[in-house]
């Protein structure tokens, strides 16, 4: 019984730790034209914006750095990406695993975000 409880606690903890890496506000550096893209990740939802203007809302799951989500664009198509954290977890980029929404895949593949303190 104690073992089951321990494993359960560890499982919950691992999910919590995984999600905690992502939760918060992340932003790109300004592009050549000065545009800044950002995402606010909450527990299971996210809001994307450009130049402080929200443009996408969605729900996500993060499991072992595999980020699966649906948003209000792309006709409800699901996207699955590997999140690669770098610079001591301060920055991240997305590597597509599957996403049939081409515009989104092109956009996300180019995106590098840094954690806002």
Partner 1 sequence: MKRYILTILGLLLITIAQVSFIQKKSTSKEELGKLLFFDPILSKDYTISCASCHKPGYAFADTTTVSRGVARKKGLRNTPSAMNVSLLSSFFWDGRAADLEEQALAPIKNVSEMNLPLQEALGRLKNNKRYYRLFDEVFNSEPTAKHLAMAIAAFERTLETSDSPFDNWKFSDDSNAVSDDVKRGFALFSGKGKCTSCHFGSNFTNNEFRNIGLFNAKNLKDSGRSLISGKKEDAGKFKTPGLRNVAITAPYMHNGMFKTLQQVIDFYNDPNKVVPNAINRDSLLAKPLGLTVREKNDIEAFLRSLTDKRFHKVSTRK
**Contact status: 45 vs partner 1 (CB under 8 A):** no
Nearest residue to 18 (alpha-carbon basis) of 67, 91, 70: 67
Shortest distance in whole angstroms from residue 55 CB to partner 1: 4
Nearest residue to 82 (alpha-carbon basis) of 18, 13, 14, 29: 18
Among 18, 19, 27, 50, binds partner 1 (CB under 8 A): 50
User: Residue 18 class from Cβ within 10 Å (0-12 exposed, 13-18 middle, 19+ buried)?
Assistant: middle
Among 7, 11, 12, 55, binds partner 1 (CB under 8 A): 55
Q: Which residues bind partner 1 (CB under 8 A)?
A: 33, 35, 40, 47, 49-57, 72-73, 75
């Amino acid at each position: 019984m104690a073992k089951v409880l321990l494993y359960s606690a560890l499982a919950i903890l691992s999910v919590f730790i995984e999600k905690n890496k992502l939760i918060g506000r992340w932003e790109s550096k300004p592009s050549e034209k000065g545009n800044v893209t950002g995402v606010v990740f909450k527990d299971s939802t996210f809001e994307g914006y450009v130049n402080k203007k929200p443009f996408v809302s969605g729900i996500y799951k993060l499991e072992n750095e595999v980020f699966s989500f649906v948003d209000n664009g792309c006709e409800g198509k699901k996207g699955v990406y590997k999140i690669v954290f770098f610079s001591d977890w301060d920055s991240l980029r997305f590597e597509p695993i599957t996403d049939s929404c081409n515009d989104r895949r092109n956009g996300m593949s180019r995106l590098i975000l840094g954690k806002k303190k």
